[in-house]
Amino acid sequence: MKANNKKINYGKVAVLMGGTSAEREVSLMSGQAICNGLLKKGIDAVAIDTKENIYQSLVDHNIERAFIALHGRDGEDGVIQGFLKMLNIPFTGSDTASSGLAMNKLLCKQLWLQLGLNTAKFSQISQHQKVDFEWAKNIIERLGNVLFVKPIREGSSVGMSKIHNVEELQQAIATAQKFDDVLIEQFIDGREYTVGILNGKALPSISMVTPNEFYDYQAKYQSNSTEYFCPSGLNAVDEKDIQQMALIAFESLGCYGWGRVDFIRDTASNKFMLLEANTVPGMTESSLVPKAAKANGIDFSTLVEDILKTSFYKQKIESCHG
């Protein structure tokens, strides 16, 4: 098949990064790496920190297209997507509705269970509900004495805790409630995997090993001792299974373009259990999606341009329905 060397006119591209979420610092790193990658490809890109007056920045720079590099609130939850759609500025990745759904860990798990996909047992509690000893004790009796507690709409393991008793559960819920409503999830003993998705295809899976108690914020972004394996070590059948499951889980949320789906493999059952979907994963040159793309022979600059191309997909869809 002949390569299409026709140069694409992207116009002036804003790489939207930073913002005000708990993941601001990671977003700034992702955004700068993306901007550098686009510039290397000769694309007219500018980095814009959305913490400032984003509308004025878009106007001042005559922005025609946006690469969303915002992690967490206002970046992955549909807010920036809705804002850009209102301004008729094409953007990368998933749309307003699918971004909001993917950001909500509770709704994701409920949908995946309806589809018969594997995920850990869970419970929930609102952000403002008080947790007494008896309530916490009942949760442990139902789900087990080792649990994960996490805010429903945060990423990068922000506000997440692993607990082993009632008192720790009460404290962990209080910590997570500083951010949002809370998901309480059964602990699954096993190895963690992730599958990147690019334009409807699954990238090679990556497995992660950390000396930390779990793959937390420190293990993701600050540790030198976290190990990543790509290829992940899965046999061909298991690799096909986890990639297919990732695509089904991602597309069931209405997501498209690019993203990442995280798993843990239950040691007891040997089944892959869904953890969450990410519509704007980390994008430094050492992040997981670039690692998987590199294993497929895609360098970082080519990857960011491929992701930028996803902004044309919505334009085609909207013109079809217009």
Positions annotated as catalytic residues are: 23, 156, 221, 260, 262, 276, 278, 282
Q: To the nearest 10°, the Cα dihedral for 81, 87, 91, 95? A: 40
What are the CA-CA distances from residue 164 to residues 136, 169, 178, 234, 265 (Å)? 12, 7, 21, 31, 21
CA 291 distance to own-chain centroid: 15
Residues 273/297, Cβ–Cβ less than 8 Å: no
- Cα separation, 112 vs 287, in Å, equals 26
Q: How many CB atoms lie within 10 A of CB 4?
A: 7
The size of the chain, in residues, is 322
DSSP conformation class of 43: -
What are the CA-CA distances from residue 211 to residues 51, 148, 158, 225, 227 (Å)? 35, 17, 19, 7, 9
- Cα separation, 69 vs 282, in Å, equals 8
DSSP conformation class of 279: S
Helix (H) and strand (E) counts for the chain? 12, 13
- Cα separation, 195 vs 245, in Å, equals 9
Residue listed under structure tokens 């976290």: 226
Q: Which amino acid is at 197?
A: I
- Cα separation, 32 vs 143, in Å, equals 42
